[in-house]
Structure 1
Amino acid sequence: MSSPSSSPSLALRIRECSRLTGTFVLRSGKVSDTYFDKYQFESDPVLLRDIAEALKPLIPPGTEVLAGLEMGGIPIVTMLSQVTGIPAAFIRKEAKDYGTCRYAEGASFAGKRFVLVEDVVSSGGAIIDALAKMRADGQEPEAALCVIDRQTGGKEALAKEGLTLVPLLTFAEIESA
């Protein structure tokens, strides 16, 4: 199912600026011949804004906080916050051991309806790690949004954890753009 937000022009722009070929080890440890250098689309202010605008309709109604995962989810959640007016939280991989010693910075999502925001999802491991911290604190996200679902098991792994992954684009949509 393709939505207006996943128009071929946006998929093509993302592919042209960020798709690399070669041999790459992914966070999951798997080796792939395709890699999306998300920092290329995240550092392009026009493309990043267009991505945020396209993600906007995918946010569940009633969402009160957008929680971006370190590091790639941070630019996306910041721009998404700008285009929606919904406050942003920033989720660290590890709680810092100084200052506030928190794993989450920015807007509090405690007791609020919130979604996780990620750049590229392969195995879903980074989201699952964040989810474990949040659940230990009694917090449950509504869903996880991402720019690209690589279609390599992440959506299924998150479903097993009871979390729905809502991608802007899939690997197949980007490849066919």
Structure 2
Amino acid sequence: MEVMEDIEELAVQLFDAGAVRLGDIEAKVGRRTPIYFDLRVVISSPKVMVSVAQHLQRLSSETEHEVLCGVPYAALPFTVVMSVNTGTPMIMKRKETKLYGTRKILEGIYKQNDTCLIVEDVVTSGGSLLETARTLRDEGLVVKNAVVVLDREQGGASILKANGVEVKSIFTMTELVKILRKAGRISDETAEIVSDHIKECQFSMD
């Protein structure tokens, strides 16, 4: 019960910090959404950032891993906090390979066949997380699990599972909306709109 209460408190903190935005918003994947989750703003709320990282740590403790890798850029601050708190080494995937010097796609120290846990903010289609998993695997790392703040329940987690990556999330979109409605942050009408959107906008491997 204590964990659930903490999760409910975190959901309200994220909403109040501006990480949950409502309206007809264009999402990254080119579709419009009635609810947008933007964790980049949390870097300006240290207490909330630490709280998010602690919940991700709880999920990460259920998996075996030697290294952490945050998907750039929103997940990087949480990955840093997790690394410092747990003493687990962290590596970073670059957006693109360096064209000079070491020409690395990954920054940090790791060994071949190290098991790497991916940290992500939101899973929608699963594209960004899957791209990161493929890069890590190409570099000789083992990727079996990912921890994320929000699973939008639009098919991304299933796509990732089919590609050998099990996703554990702090919230599903359904859970987040239920908590925010209970807390009086969103209306019943908004909750229904979001629920309909989840059902209508599903991604698949086709």
TM over 0.5: yes
Cα drift, residue 85 of structure 1: 1.2
1:37 & 1:71 partners in 2: Cα distance? 11
Distance 1:14 1:58, change over 3 A: same
2:86 & 2:44 partners in 1: Cα distance? 20
With 56-65 and 30-39 compared, the bigger mean Cα shift is at 56-65
2:127 & 2:80 partners in 1: Cα distance? 22
Distance 1:28 1:113, change over 3 A: same
Measured against aligned partners, the alpha-carbon deviations of 1:9-28 in whole angstroms (never above 9, x if no partner) come to 11221122211122322222
With 161-170 and 54-63 compared, the bigger mean Cα shift is at 54-63
Would you identify which runs of 4 or more consecutive aligned residues in structure 1 move more than 4 Å?
A: none
Asked whether the equivalents of residues 11 and 173 of structure 1 are also in contact (C-alpha less than 8 Å), the reply is no
Q: Of 85, 96, 99, which residue of structure 1 is paired with 2:98? A: 96
Is 1:24 aligned to residue 25 of structure 2? yes
Cα drift, residue 30 of structure 1: 2.2
Measured against aligned partners, the alpha-carbon deviations of 1:130-172 in whole angstroms (never above 9, x if no partner) come to 1222222332213011111111111111012111011111112
Partner of 1:105: 107
Asked whether the equivalents of residues 120 and 146 of structure 1 are also in contact (C-alpha less than 8 Å), the reply is yes
3-state SS of paired residue (2:33)? strand
Partner of 1:57: 58
Matched letter for residue 107 of structure 1: I
Matched letter for residue 35 of structure 1: Y
Distance 1:72 1:105, change over 3 A: same
**Unaligned 5+ runs, structure 1:** none
| Larger RCO (alpha carbons 8 Å, 6+ apart) | 1
Indicate the RMSD between aligned Cα atoms, in angstroms.
2.0
1:109 & 1:27 partners in 2: Cα distance? 33
Is 1:165 aligned to residue 167 of structure 2? yes
Could you state the TM-score of these two structures normalised by the residue count of structure 1? Answer: 0.89
Larger radius of gyration: 2
Cα drift, residue 49 of structure 1: 0.7
Structure 2 counterparts to residues 76-91 of structure 1, below 5 A? 76-91=78-93
Measured against aligned partners, the alpha-carbon deviations of 1:44-71 in whole angstroms (never above 9, x if no partner) come to 1111111111111211444211111111
Structure 2 counterparts to residues 69-148 of structure 1, below 5 A? 69-108=71-110, 110-148=112-150
With 45-54 and 5-14 compared, the bigger mean Cα shift is at 5-14
1:26 & 1:146 partners in 2: Cα distance? 18
Asked whether the equivalents of residues 26 and 32 of structure 2 are also in contact (C-alpha less than 8 Å), the reply is yes
Structure 2 counterparts to residues 10-49 of structure 1, below 5 A? 10-17=10-17, 18-49=19-50
2:92 & 2:2 partners in 1: Cα distance? 28
Matched letter for residue 167 of structure 2: L
1:174 & 1:107 partners in 2: Cα distance? 36
Asked whether the equivalents of residues 94 and 103 of structure 1 are also in contact (C-alpha less than 8 Å), the reply is yes
